[in-house]
């Protein structure tokens, strides 16, 4: 049986409408679950860079939340001053949304990390063990070769010694720039120094191999075949450790601890 052109068009339109409604409904119904999974993944990455969870460790969601709530204290700070931000809820704050909104951000000055806008406030994480500050975790981001890399840098309470680094989102080339995910490479960062003696950002990914932290405290091995990604990591760290990033907060941290 051959249908008319009108019938075929109406049938196709009906199918399109049905599919659109189905997709839109699914997106709405799954939004809360997607947001919860996103938040859980961030908590997991924070635990990993804090040394409270192994890189390859698989934990149920309840245990991830328990460890996070027990040891991690989220804190919203005013980036310009380093002071705690007033009237901002850490539980609902979204730094990337804040950076994209002109009402809650400002244009970044020209920078090698290609950060376009700086949020007025930023979320950091203080790691507490036995009632004492064990480390602070700072969000970092910047351009690599193909993508923006989003991650976390962990510093010891002196605000200078690196205790860990991780990236939770990027689109770098697998096996090359994508090696920022390699646990062996990330392990090389522990014990390096983020700042020189004058508190200027000094940590950098060098071309080739770096020495051990005691002999070469300001360098980390380059990623083989990924010069631009390596340079991107250096640039984004220089930006977020500088005056437009977390330098005011870290200066306060040093002052509070008598460093």
Asked whether 229 and 177 are in contact (CB, 8 A), the reply is yes
Residue 139 maps to a domain: yes
pLDDT, tens digit only, all 259 positions of the chain: 556 667 667 766 777 766 667 555 544 554 556 677 888 999 999 999 999 999 888 899 999 999 999 999 999 999 999 999 988 999 889 999 999 999 999 999 999 999 999 999 999 999 999 999 999 999 999 999 999 999 999 999 999 999 999 999 999 999 999 999 999 999 999 999 999 999 999 999 999 999 999 999 999 999 999 999 999 999 999 999 999 999 999 999 998 876 6
**65: exposed, middle or buried (C-beta count within 10 Å: 0-12, 13-18, 19+)?**
middle
Residue 61 maps to a domain: no
Residue 155 maps to a domain: yes
Q: pLDDT at position 78, please?
A: 97
Q: pLDDT at position 250, please?
A: 96
Residue 176 maps to a domain: yes
Q: Quote the tokens at residue 77.
A: 């700070």
Residue 201 maps to a domain: yes
Q: pLDDT at position 116, please?
A: 97
Q: pLDDT at position 256, please?
A: 85
**What is the tally of structural domains in the chain?**
1
Q: Look up the pTM and report it.
A: 0.85
What would the pLDDT profile of 95-124 be if each residue is shown by its tens digit?
999 999 999 999 999 999 999 999 999 999
Residue 50 maps to a domain: no
Residue 107 maps to a domain: yes
What residues make up the domain containing 106?
73-256
């Amino acid at each position: 049986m051959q249908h008319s052109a009108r019938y075929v068009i109406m049938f196709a339109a009906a199918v399109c409408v049905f599919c659109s409604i189905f997709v839109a409904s699914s997106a709405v119904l799954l939004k809360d679950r997607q947001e919860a999974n996103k938040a859980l993944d961030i908590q997991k990455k924070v635990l990993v860079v804090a040394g409270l969870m192994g890189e390859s460790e698989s934990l149920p969601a309840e245990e991830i939340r328990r460890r996070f709530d027990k040891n991690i204290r989220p804190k919203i700070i005013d980036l310009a001053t380093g002071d705690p931000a007033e009237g901002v809820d850490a539980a609902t704050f979204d730094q990337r949304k804040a950076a994209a909104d002109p009402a809650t951000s400002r244009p970044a000055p020209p920078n090698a990390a290609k950060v376009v806008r700086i949020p007025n406030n930023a979320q950091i994480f203080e790691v507490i063990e036995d009632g004492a500050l064990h480390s602070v975790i700072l969000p970092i981001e910047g351009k690599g070769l193909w993508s923006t890399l989003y991650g976390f840098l962990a510093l010891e309470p002196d605000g200078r010694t690196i205790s860990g680094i991780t990236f939770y989102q990027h689109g770098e080339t697998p096996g090359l720039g994508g090696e920022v995910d390699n646990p062996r490479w990330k392990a090389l960062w522990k014990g390096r120094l983020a700042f020189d003696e004058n508190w200027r950002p000094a940590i950098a990914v060098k071309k080739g191999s770096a020495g051990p932290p005691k002999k070469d405290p300001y360098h980390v091995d380059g990623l083989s075949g990924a010069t631009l990604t390596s340079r991107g990591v250096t640039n984004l760290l220089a930006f977020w450790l500088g005056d437009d990033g977390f330098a005011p907060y870290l200066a306060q941290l040093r002052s509070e601890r008598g460093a």
